[in-house]
Amino acid sequence: MIPLLSFSVIKIALMASAGFLFAVLLTPWLTSLLYTYKLWRKSVRSNGMGGGKLPIFHKFHHEGEVKTPRFGGVLVWVTPPFLAVLFFLLAKTGNPWFEDLNFLSRSQTWLPLATLAAASAVGFLDDMLQVVSAPANRVLRSLWENISRYTAGGLSLKLRIALVSLIGLTGAWWFFYKLGWDTIFVPGVGDVFLGWLMIPFFVVVMLATYSGGVIDGIDGLSGGAFASIFTAYGLIAFAQEQVDLATFCFALVGAILAFLWFNIPPARFYMGETGILGLTATLTVVAFLTDSVAVLPIIGILLVMESGSVIVQVASKKLRRGKKVFLAAPIHHHFEGKGWSPAKVTMRFWIVGIVAAFVGVAIRLLG
């Protein structure tokens, strides 16, 4: 008889391994599809968010922008739902081992799985609009041109924000009314009552986390960052005896590591909005479910740095007549501009992210 704690560790390790293996096995099919249909941008971005040209970005990334497909994030968001459904169905056979390995539960994993699927679908649509050319068929071409007139080669930032807000509102409603959460835990302070304010707070956190998605700009950077972040939250969930949620986090980590295997330079594909949107929205949900949203800025320090650098850069250009604080934004491009190789930027950012994750976990558990 295996002790419950030991079996929980086995369950988590098995799902992390299964997530990695499944995503790796899925990669040849995905790669073939992406390259067969040339699912990459057809032109290099020419202007930044705050206006102006992108000389540093063009110097280091102009080739990969139009020759490397997006949609690598499909590996990340397909894997956990597949494993969840597979082991849920196997549990129905009555085998006690499969019953114990099932990690689909209303209180812990319904919401993050639903969020991952919904947000990734929005990102998938955005990626498709950016890379797919108008079809040859006259009727379909006309329909495509009408859609493109409003999407400008992808979902507009305003529309993406609106859709992320809608996903956040839905999640917040479930979180507040169905799961009954109305407080957040702040280390050193204790539970802080928010009541109905939990709903707008949830949405704001999801939007802020999504803004950190600009980290997907150098081969390997986003994969390493999100692997350390979800590992940290998996450890917190495990320490809180939320074994199903911890299992979900580590299954996601396994899939992220499989993506990272093929995203290390030279990248076979990029994460794309389908991965970034799904991961950032799901991260918000996991942070709230573990009552650890207060340490999200620490564990996700790389997302804060990336998002913050863009905000500062855009504000500086607007308020200081085009003057910049950084050579380029997001901040990983600034370091490239200073002469760091992309590999050096990526690995040093990984180190910062891992150390910050350790610190965040310690603060939360000592709380």
pLDDT in tens, 179-226: 888 999 999 999 999 999 999 999 999 999 999 999 998 999 999 999
Residue spans of the chain under pLDDT 50: 1, 49-51, 140
Domain boundaries, the chain: 4-366
- Alpha-carbon distance of 60 to 267, in angstroms, equals 14
Q: Are 243 and 8 in contact (CB under 8 A)?
A: yes
The predicted structure's pLDDT at residue 156? 86
Positive/negative CA dihedral, 117, 134, 263, 343:
negative
Query: How much is the pLDDT for 201?
Result: 97
Structure tokens at 359: 């610190």
d(CA 206, CA 168): 6
Which pLDDT score is estimated for 217? Answer: 87
pLDDT of residue 130: 84
Q: Which residues contact 36 (CB under 8 A, 6 or more apart)?
A: none
Q: What distance, in Å, lies between the first and last C-alpha atoms of the chain?
A: 34
Report the pLDDT value the prediction gives residue 12, as an integer from 0 to 100: 96
Query: CA 99 to CA 331: how far, in whole Å?
Result: 46
Structure tokens belonging to residue 335: 């370091």
Exposed e or buried b for every residue in 77-90, given b needs 16+ CB within 10 A? Answer: bbbbbbbbebbbee
- Containing 28, the helix (H) or strand (E) segment is helix 4-36
Query: Tell me, what's the pLDDT at 95?
Result: 85
Q: What's the half-sphere exposure (Cβ side, CA atoms, 13 Å) at 315?
A: 6
